[in-house]
């Protein structure tokens, strides 16, 4: 099943299930998906679903469209994780299989940071615990990654190619996903498929250090804001910073009394921390309806390895978001402030300085300027000449003001 997550005027994380065949997109009410905005044509684009393939086509719109920030000419095969942009609207392509997509409000799991579970040592039927430092798949992946093409051809066959291929797919998504959310969506889809999970959730720390759900997959209907996880199991993983597999969670004395365990009929849970240099940045949580336990240790190792790579992805996107935010601030400041002032403000923001240290008492000069004889001048010159004259005047005056570390209030 293919799905679009639509954001734009009138839409906020709105899920649209694409049927087989053609779906028309545009401003006219006759379209299957009606978008707003000055840059949206009446019949702007169409999406055709043919089984496992999805084709996006621009219908010759005036303002065009983009896929992953690349202009689209004609048609193109799209993949899960691609971002289609039409004017102010963004349509994220997803392929969630049989999962129900849940739109959730942020939920504070922050109590896990300060408190854990203590005093009960009894175990359930099967519990597997793994630290990421002991992960065999990450070791093999790093070994293969270091080999040259010639060394790879001459080396003996690599064990468990399927798991290594999965890690390569995660690495590929890290490099190609247009956003953190689309990356985590792809990660949850991949890991849920290999583990045959009925529930897949990715939680990440927000700016306050609280765990909030960014991606939720569930095969049953959920209420708005509902996150189908066991808070007690997540709390145990957060406290110990190890991947944990619990079979028959309802029989485990540590978790059996938890309301979430009872409510979601948890059978087999795999939960892995996303660690970056030993610090928790998020959690991957899976629930399976799988009674067999023979391959459980291997699945825990696979999920733990993927969680480790996902942590790198979260760090990458957080750094990018921070850099983008600083660049937006810089561009806004550069319009009216001298370069030295801009650098000082950016430096203070980077250091997290929120005190009054940026306040300085100075003797200032306020100056109003005008162009003498401008009104009769506009009567004689063509509009293009007037615009060029004003642009040159503003540029020269700004350079003079900035040379004295001044601030331009308005033009």
- At 289 the pLDDT is 74
Instruction: Kindly provide the residue ranges of all beta strands, DSSP E only, lying in 297-375, ordered along the sequence.
Output: none
- At 226 the pLDDT is 60
- At 100 the pLDDT is 45
What's this model's pTM, rounded to 2 decimal places? 0.53
Q: How many CA atoms lie less than 13 Å away from 297 in the CB half-sphere?
A: 4
| Same domain, yes or no: 202 and 268 | yes
| Same domain, yes or no: 137 and 241 | yes
If you compute the radius of gyration of the chain from its CA atoms, what whole number of angstroms results? 27
| Same domain, yes or no: 364 and 389 | yes
Q: How many CA atoms lie less than 13 Å away from 133 in the CB half-sphere?
A: 3
In tens, the pLDDT along 333-388 reads 777 777 777 777 777 776 665 554 566 777 888 888 888 888 888 888 898 999 88
| Same domain, yes or no: 210 and 169 | yes
| Same domain, yes or no: 289 and 349 | no
| Same domain, yes or no: 89 and 155 | no
CATH code: domain of residue 293 = 3.30.450.40
Q: Domain count of the chain? A: 3
| Same domain, yes or no: 356 and 315 | no
* 114: pLDDT strictly greater than 50: no
| Same domain, yes or no: 151 and 202 | yes
* 158: pLDDT strictly greater than 50: no
- At 293 the pLDDT is 54
- At 366 the pLDDT is 86
In tens, the pLDDT along 116-136 reads 322 223 233 434 555 655 565
- At 38 the pLDDT is 83
| Same domain, yes or no: 69 and 199 | no
- At 216 the pLDDT is 85
- At 317 the pLDDT is 83
| Same domain, yes or no: 294 and 174 | yes
In tens, the pLDDT along 30-42 reads 999 999 888 899 9
- Using alpha carbons, select from 383, 408, 389 the residue that is nearest to residue 397: 408
Residue 157 lies in a domain: yes
Listed in sequence order, the residues at least 6 apart from 264 whose beta carbon sits closer than 8 Å to its beta carbon are: 199, 228, 229, 230, 287
Instruction: Tokens 């997109």: give the residue.
Output: 25
- At 123 the pLDDT is 34
| Same domain, yes or no: 371 and 288 | no
Burial of 168 (0-12, 13-18, 19+ CB in 10 A): middle
**Percent above pLDDT 70 for the chain:** 72
**Distance in angstroms (rounded) separating the CA atoms of residues 193 and 211:** 24
Range with lowest mean pLDDT among 55-59, 111-115, 206-210, 397-401: 111-115
Residue 275 lies in a domain: yes
Mean pLDDT of the 186-212 span: 84
**What's the length of the chain?**
411
Q: Does residue 122 or residue 307 have the better pLDDT?
A: 307
How many other CB atoms are there within 10 angstroms of residue 70's CB atom? 9
**Distance in angstroms (rounded) separating the CA atoms of residues 154 and 142:** 17
* 25: pLDDT strictly greater than 60: yes
- Using alpha carbons, select from 112, 292, 110 the residue that is nearest to residue 207: 110
Mean pLDDT of the 258-273 span: 64
Sheet strand arrangement including 2-8: 11-18, 2-8, 89-94, 83-86, 66-67, 70-71
* 401: pLDDT strictly greater than 80: yes
Residue 409 lies in a domain: no
Residue 348 lies in a domain: yes
Residue 111 lies in a domain: no
Domain extent at residue 25: 3-94
**Distance in angstroms (rounded) separating the CA atoms of residues 187 and 193:** 10
Listed in sequence order, the residues at least 6 apart from 238 whose beta carbon sits closer than 8 Å to its beta carbon are: 109, 112, 113, 116, 211, 273, 280, 283
In tens, the pLDDT along 78-111 reads 988 889 999 989 999 987 654 444 444 434 444 4
């Amino acid at each position: 099943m293919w799905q679009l997550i639509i954001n734009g005027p009138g839409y906020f994380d709105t899920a649209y299930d694409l049927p087989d065949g053609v779906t028309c997109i545009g401003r006219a009410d006759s379209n299957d998906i009606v978008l707003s905005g000055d840059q949206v044509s009446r019949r702007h684009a169409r999406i055709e679903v043919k089984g496992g393939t999805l084709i996006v086509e621009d219908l010759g719109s005036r303002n065009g469209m983009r896929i992953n920030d690349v202009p689209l000419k004609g048609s193109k095969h799209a993949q899960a994780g691609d971002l289609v942009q039409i004017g102010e609207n963004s349509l994220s392509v997803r392929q969630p299989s049989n999962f129900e997509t849940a739109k959730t409000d942020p939920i504070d799991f922050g109590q896990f940071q300060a408190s854990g579970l203590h005093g009960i040592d009894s175990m359930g039927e099967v519990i597997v615990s793994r630290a990421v430092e002991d992960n065999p798949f990450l070791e093999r992946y790093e070994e293969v990654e270091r080999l040259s093409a010639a060394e790879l051809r001459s080396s003996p066959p690599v064990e468990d190619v399927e798991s290594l291929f999965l890690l390569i797919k995660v690495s590929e998504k890290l490099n190609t996903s247009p956003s953190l959310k689309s990356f985590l969506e792809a990660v949850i889809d991949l890991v849920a498929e290999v583990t045959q999970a009925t529930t897949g959730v990715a939680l990440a720390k927000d700016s306050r250090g609280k765990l909030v759900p960014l991606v939720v997959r569930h095969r049953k209907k959920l209420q708005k804001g509902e996150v189908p996880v066991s808070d007690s199991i997540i709390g145990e993983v957060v406290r110990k910073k190890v991947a944990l597999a619990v079979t028959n969670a309802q029989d485990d004395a540590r978790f059996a009394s938890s309301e979430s365990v009872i409510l979601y009929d948890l059978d087999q849970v795999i939960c892995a921390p996303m660690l970056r240099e030993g610090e928790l940045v998020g959690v991957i949580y899976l629930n399976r309806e799988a009674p067999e336990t023979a391959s459980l240790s291997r699945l825990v190792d696979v999920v733990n390895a993927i969680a480790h790579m996902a942590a790198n992805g979260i760090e990458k996107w957080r750094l990018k978001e921070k850099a983008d935010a600083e660049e937006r601030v810089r561009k806004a400041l550069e319009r009216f402030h001298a370069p030295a002032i801009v650098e000082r403000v950016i430096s203070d923001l980077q250091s997290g300085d929120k005190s009054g240290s940026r306040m300085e008492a100075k003797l200032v000069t306020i100056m109003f300027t005008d162009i003498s004889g401008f009104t009769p001048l506009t009567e004689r010159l063509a509009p293009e000449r007037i615009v060029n004259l004003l642009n040159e005047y503003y540029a020269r005056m700004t350079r003079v003001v900035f040379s004295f570390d001044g601030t331009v209030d308005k033009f």
